[in-house]
């Protein structure tokens, strides 16, 4: 039996550097804009050494009424998963049941803290298992390959079924999301081939976990820049995808699924250990920009987002990128006002 059809949903989250540069008031303003535009979710990056994700989410819980609030994303290394369980359960209580745990492999701040990202699929699997046991009120011990918990439980009751979504662009993490998570935040780019490839990996995970097909909500982290100056919009998203390009090396299955090969000079530079931001960005091809992002006029962005929905994405999570680096919220406002109304299902009017 197939899972029931899902309502189309929209959300947004500012990239980490935006909140670092602009302050908590700008993040609160962005979430308020999303809520007033009728969006469904708002996400906060967990990146060191930027403003704390849980303090920020607590402020958002107090300043919003309806929108879901999630981490995009935290990881199983920087904090013990039991602490993550406590933080999300507290956020869920503070927000009236609106918390979502977004988890991924991470990497920010690891070098400074002497941490290593080892076996991320195993670490995430074990972290989610322990977190769910604690949310369920179990007094438990947990001894995994990477995660260890000597015993005990939370000292307060919480909702046991707080949603868990896994951000992924690698095959193993996409399959893990299909196997154990409520949703998968696909970070494999916007090309139809990449979406189809990611969806098949998620479906394989569902089969492995003996879950009904379509049990996993497919979210999509979408880098989008809207500007009448198309060249400026494309320059902006080039800068935004530096982390995707450098952080994925040498695994580019998601690009190849889109029919795109990373340029040889880019691969050679990354093979040499080079990670200079300017050097990497200068080697990103136009084909990579097209495969990974949506950038251009309002009409271009409408077409790009509509194509994501047609490809089977259930929940678009916008990562707005402004051609003017100081105005990412202005970019988000323009998307909310001039783009989403044209692709939102007719039975989903914006709330004001």
Biggest distance spanned by C-alpha atoms of the chain: 58
Domains in the chain: boundaries: 9-343
Return the closest-CA partner of residue 217 out of 195, 189, 185, 193.
185
Give pLDDT tens digits for 311-329: 999 999 999 998 876 688 8
Residue 109: left if φ>0, alpha if ψ -120 to 50, beta else—which one?
left
Rounded to an integer, what distance in angstroms lies between the CA atom of residue 105 and that of residue 293? 21
Q: Which two tokens stand for residue 218?
A: 């497919």
pLDDT range class, residue 192, cuts 50, 70, 90: very high
Number of helices (H), then strands (E), belonging to the chain: the values are 17, 11
pLDDT at 349 over 50: no
Local structure of residue 267 (DSSP, 8 states): H
pLDDT at position 20 is: 67
Residues in the chain: 352
Give pLDDT tens digits for 13-55: 987 666 667 789 999 999 999 999 999 999 999 988 889 999 9
Give pLDDT tens digits for 69-83: 999 999 999 999 999
Which long-range contacts does 95-98 make (Cβ < 8 Å, 24+ apart)? 95/60, 95/61, 95/64, 95/69, 97/159, 98/61, 98/64, 98/66, 98/67, 98/68, 98/69
* Domain 9-343 indexed as CATH 3.40.640.10: no
Q: Give the pTM.
A: 0.95
């Amino acid at each position: 039996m197939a899972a029931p059809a899902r309502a189309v949903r929209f959300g947004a989250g500012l990239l980490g550097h935006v909140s670092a540069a602009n302050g908590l008031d700008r993040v609160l303003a962005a979430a308020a804009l999303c809520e007033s535009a009728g969006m469904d979710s708002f996400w906060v990056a967990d990146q060191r050494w930027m403003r704390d994700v849980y303090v920020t989410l607590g402020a958002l819980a107090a300043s919003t009424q309806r929108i879901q609030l999630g981490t995009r994303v935290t990881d199983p290394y920087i904090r013990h998963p039991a602490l993550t369980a406590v933080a999300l359960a507290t956020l869920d209580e503070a927000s009236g049941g609106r918390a979502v745990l977004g988890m991924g492999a991470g990497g920010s701040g690891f070098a400074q803290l002497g941490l290593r990202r080892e076996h991320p699929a195993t670490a995430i699997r074990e972290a989610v298992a322990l977190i769910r046991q604690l949310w369920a009120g179990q007094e438990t011990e947990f001894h995994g390959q990477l995660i260890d918990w000597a015993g005990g439980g939370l000292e307060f009751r919480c909702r046991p079924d707080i949603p868990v979504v896994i951000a992924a662009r690698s095959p193993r993490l996409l399959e893990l999301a299909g196997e154990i998570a409520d949703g998968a935040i696909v970070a494999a780019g916007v090309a139809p081939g990449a979406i189809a490839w990611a969806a098949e990996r998620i479906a394989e995970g569902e089969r492995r976990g003996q879950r009904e097909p379509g049990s996993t909500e497919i979210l999509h982290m979408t880098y989008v820049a809207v500007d009448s100056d198309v060249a400026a919009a494309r320059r902006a998203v080039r800068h935004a995808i530096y982390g995707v390009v450098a952080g994925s090396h040498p695994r580019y299955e998601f690009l190849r699924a889109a029919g795109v090969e990373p340029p040889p000079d880019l691969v050679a530079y990354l093979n040499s250990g080079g990670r200079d931001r300017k050097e990497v960005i200068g080697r990103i091809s136009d084909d990579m920009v097209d495969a990974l992002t949506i950038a251009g006029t309002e009409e271009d962005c409408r077409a790009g987002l509509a194509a994501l929905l047609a490809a089977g994405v259930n929940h678009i999570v916008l990562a707005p990128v402004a051609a003017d680096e100081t105005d990412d919220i202005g970019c988000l406002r323009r998307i909310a006002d001039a783009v989403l109304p044209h692709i939102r299902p007719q039975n989903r009017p914006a709330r004001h």
